[in-house]
Amino acid sequence: MGKESKSLVFGASSIVCLLGYGLVYAALSSFHNPFEAWEHQVSETNGSVHNKKVDISNFIEEMKESQHILMRRLLNKGEDPTQFDNKRFLCQSDIHSDGCVINKQVVIEKDSLTIYVPSDEPQTKYAVKPYARKGEATAMNAVTPVHIIHGKNHSTTNLPACNFNHDVPAVVFSSGGYTGSGFHEINEVIIPLFTTCHQFGNEIQLVISDYKPSWIQKHKKYLDHLSRYPLIDMAKSGGVHCFPGAIVGLKYLDNIGINSSEVPGGYSMSDFRKFLREAYDMKIDHVAQMPLTTKPRLLLLSRKGTRRFLNEKKLVKLMKKLGFEVVVATPAVTRNLAEFSELVNSCSVMVGVHGAGLTNEIFLPDGAVMIQVVPLGLDWASTNYYGEPGIKMGVQYLEYKIEPEESSLLSMYGRDHPYITKSDPGSVWSMGYVTARTVYLDQQSVKVNLVRFRKTLVHALNLIGRSAPSLSPSN
């Protein structure tokens, strides 16, 4: 696993390229220096290249400083950067996550999930759960702590011997927590990985704790696009790995969003979606690229449990009458993310009841329309989790709020029950999360009024530059 210790020689073109991108990270310490056995000079005479023995210490120092600048950007606002400049080590915390940024030699002993950071400072120990949801006990119970020991009591002579030396920094994170839910995966792992790693190009080593093979396979294309090095399972790949630096833990940024002022490089959701399109080889950037000579494709997210369409067949029939090519995405269709992302990217409109499946709006082309069907009691969550994030990323957003007659709750509780009559759903949620979730999320499905919903579909057609035939849909 990883890149074994070897002395490296770069040709002239390689050095120019690496200098241009600032992506050389050498393990420059007494543990491992891939340059120490070599002195290399590139000179050009009449277009030819000549190798000579010279000191390349200036080049190496430039690369070290480049790495430091990139890592410095990862500090939280409010942190004193001079402390990081002096110690090259800083652990930080916010409401969502804990983490450490380390721009010096680190030794990762995977059997004990321990990271050693040699220093002349007094010894300090940290336990970091590298997952961006620390306020959620349920999520964090599924995240194993990584121990960091920083200080002089672990000098070079006392450190475990390196079995593998790496020439790029490590990014240590967990695939535990709420992974398995597309919404949480995007918010707590996928987007934070992008904002942490992208500035390094693909010259970064991903080190994963709580390794889930199924999760890794699901996101393989994305992870391979972040780093050109094989993934390291922190618990199982064996041996001691040494790096020239490490970032331990990821930062939560928003619900399907990025606050550009809070991330290195000022990356936005547009940058993230461009990266996704490259990683998954998606072809369509904007809905305007779709030919007007073909039917607009509509993706209907089909749920089989709670919050499903009770009249789905009639709904599909209506959509087809309006001129859509309808693709019904069942859970089986969505399972292969590499294939499903390409399918979503080919659609002009996506329709779904509030739920994690709407996270797939990230794969829609710019200018496409996402229609969210909002069940009773879920107005706030619908707007904040999927509606506003969709607008910010360049997706046109429509919502269809159901009436009590369209909710399965009506037959369960009756029209006069507080779950139905409360004008402010927040008052129901104030009864307790478990109660409100059980009712509004776990018990509720919808039977949309096709006459009312037709107006929303026609609006979507207009937004993508199409028109609907004059039809009178029947229920």
* pLDDT tens sequence across 137-146: 999 999 999 9
Q: Is 475 exposed, middle or buried (0-12, 13-18, 19+ CB in 10 A)?
A: exposed
Q: CA 120 to CA 219: how far, in whole Å?
A: 40
Mean pLDDT, rounded, for 359-388: 96
Task: List alpha helices for 346-424, DSSP H.
Answer: 379-382, 388-392, 409-413, 418-421
Q: CA 309 to CA 315: how far, in whole Å?
A: 8
Per-residue pLDDT for 155 more than 80? Answer: no
Q: CA 334 to CA 329: how far, in whole Å?
A: 6
Q: Is 77 exposed, middle or buried (0-12, 13-18, 19+ CB in 10 A)?
A: exposed
- pLDDT of 235 reads 80
Q: CA 457 to CA 420: how far, in whole Å?
A: 26
Per-residue pLDDT for 58 more than 80? Answer: no
Q: CA 458 to CA 213: how far, in whole Å?
A: 43
Provide φ and ψ at 118, rounded to 5°: -60, 140
- pLDDT of 460 reads 98
Domains of the chain with CATH codes: 76-278 (no CATH), 281-463 (3.40.50)
* Nearest to 175, CA basis, from 205, 200, 212: 212
- The alpha carbon of 136 is separated from its chain's Cα centroid by a whole number of angstroms, namely 18
Residue 297 and residue 466 in contact, taking contact as beta carbons nearer than 8 Å: no
Per-residue pLDDT for 219 more than 80? Answer: yes
What separation in angstroms does the CA of 16 have from each of 11, 24, 59?
Answer: 9, 11, 11
Q: CA 378 to CA 437: how far, in whole Å?
A: 10
Q: Which two tokens stand for residue 374?
A: 């909002």
Q: CA 62 to CA 65: how far, in whole Å?
A: 5
Per-residue pLDDT band for 60 (boundaries 50, 70, 90) equals: low
The pLDDT tens digits of the residues spanning 463-473 come to 999 988 865 54
Q: CA 281 to CA 18: how far, in whole Å?
A: 25
Q: CA 260 to CA 253: how far, in whole Å?
A: 9
The pLDDT tens digits of the residues spanning 318-367 come to 999 999 999 999 988 998 999 999 999 999 999 999 999 999 999 999 99
- The secondary structure of 26-46 as a DSSP string is ---SSS--TTTT---EEEEET
Mean pLDDT, rounded, for 297-315: 97
Q: CA 189 to CA 171: how far, in whole Å?
A: 12
State the Cα angle at 471 between 469 and 472, rounded to 5°.
160
CB count within 10 Å of CB 463 equals 17
Per-residue pLDDT for 297 more than 80? Answer: yes
Mean pLDDT, rounded, for 434-441: 91
Percent of the chain that is helix, strand, coil (3-state, to 5): 40, 20, 40
* Nearest to 126, CA basis, from 91, 172, 87: 91
The pLDDT tens digits of the residues spanning 383-408 come to 999 999 999 999 999 999 999 999 99
Q: Which two tokens stand for residue 150?
A: 């920083």
* Nearest to 189, CA basis, from 210, 158, 169: 210
Long-range contacts of 419-426 (CB under 8 A, 24+ apart): 419/376, 419/377, 420/376, 422/377, 425/376, 425/377, 425/378, 425/379, 425/380, 426/380
Cross-strand partners of 371: 351, 398
Q: What is the largest CA-CA distance in the chain?
A: 90
What separation in angstroms does the CA of 334 have from each of 160, 366, 386, 393?
Answer: 45, 21, 18, 22
Q: Which of 211-215, 256-260, 345-349 has the highest mean pLDDT?
A: 345-349
The pLDDT tens digits of the residues spanning 445-460 come to 999 999 999 999 999 9
pTM for this model (two decimals): 0.84
State the Cα angle at 129 between 123 and 133, rounded to 5°.
140
* Exposure string over 85-111, b if 16+ CB within 10 A, otherwise e: eebbbbbbeeebbbbbbbbbbbbbbbe
Per-residue pLDDT for 47 more than 50? Answer: no
Residue 64 and residue 28 in contact, taking contact as beta carbons nearer than 8 Å: yes
Rg (C-alpha) for the chain, rounded Å, is: 26
- The secondary structure of 382-402 as a DSSP string is HIIIIIHHHHHTT-EEEEEEP
